[in-house]
Amino acid sequence: MNGQQDGAQRDRFPKAVSTQAEEFSRRLETMGQSRLAAAAQAAVQGLHALITELRPSSDEFRQAIDFLTEVGHYADARRQEWVLLADVMGMSSLIEDQNSPRPHGATPNTVAGPFYRSDVPEMPLGGNISRDRKGELLEVTGRVVALAGEGLGGAVVEVWQANAEGLYENQEPDRQPEFNLRGRFRTDSQGHFRFTTVKPKGYSLPSDGPVGQLMSALGLGLERPAHLHFRVSADGFETLTTHIFDRSDPAIDRDAIFGVKPELMAEFRLLPPNGGKRTYALDLNLVLCPQRRDEQPLGGDDRWHVSAATTT
């Protein structure tokens, strides 16, 4: 090629931040266009821009490599440290927002977390999902509705949560009964549902691995405010997976995985005393969107941990 042709070809590349990034883009172009190639090019451009701005020393670069290596060492069949890293950097939440947009008035989608179970038996409306009866009672009443406000009868409402100590049933199977604090209900003809549970406690993400150590070094917390998980499905509507947060939780403004949205904060109301035992109430509407043609059935979210050290 002559100089004029080379210049024309370079003009087709995004402006590179380094000669190495420019050469990487040139080599990719010879392989043809693909989403993988576009992702690789964007990653190289971003990383080279970061290096150009920060100008790390060789020792600092080695420290970064060592950190990523350690994240890999902590990732196995029971713990996914890479997903934890994506969570605390806000990437998991951003991807959820991009892939599950909701119009104004609809309940926002969130990540499911690692503790969803699809095998929970259906219970009658009004059932108690606290199988060990430990904790302060929480009476939940809700309604599943469409965007226009009409109730959706026959919708399936799945719920799961941590206990009063901030632990899920499948984190400590030897201490909690099977399916503790999990339920599956079907709404009545007007879309209403109700059940009894216990008030959940907030908790912290694991701090024993490299991600926790990074967050500590940055001075950032790992707290998650108290919440209930919901998954709601109805014929002709998008499946909704979301959280409902206790707005009074001290960590409500610093959720470690960026799941809190104004529409998902609710009041866990303290009811008048009843026999000396404190009881709370939660009232909510879950608003679904019509199903998109490209929506696929949702399965469990295989996240980053299922042992006692991890919650999300």
Catalytic residues: 168, 203, 224, 227, 229
Q: Of 239, 236, 244, 289, give the one whose Cα is nearest residue 266.
A: 244
Residues 6+ apart with CB under 8 A from 30: none
The H or E element spanning position 97 is: helix 91-99
Distances (CA, A) of 274 to 117, 137, 279: 33, 11, 8
Q: Of 281, 201, 210, 288, give the one whose Cα is nearest residue 242.
A: 288
Given a contact cutoff of 8 angstroms between Cβ atoms, the answer to whether 107 and 240 are in contact is yes
Given a contact cutoff of 8 angstroms between Cβ atoms, the answer to whether 237 and 257 are in contact is no
In three-state secondary structure terms, 233 is: strand
Q: Of 133, 130, 106, give the one whose Cα is nearest residue 228.
A: 130
φ, ψ of residue 43 in degrees (nearest 5): -65, -45
E strand intervals along 22-112: none
The H or E element spanning position 151 is: none
The H or E element spanning position 60 is: helix 58-74
Residues 6+ apart with CB under 8 A from 129: 123, 159, 179, 180, 181, 182, 183, 195, 196, 197
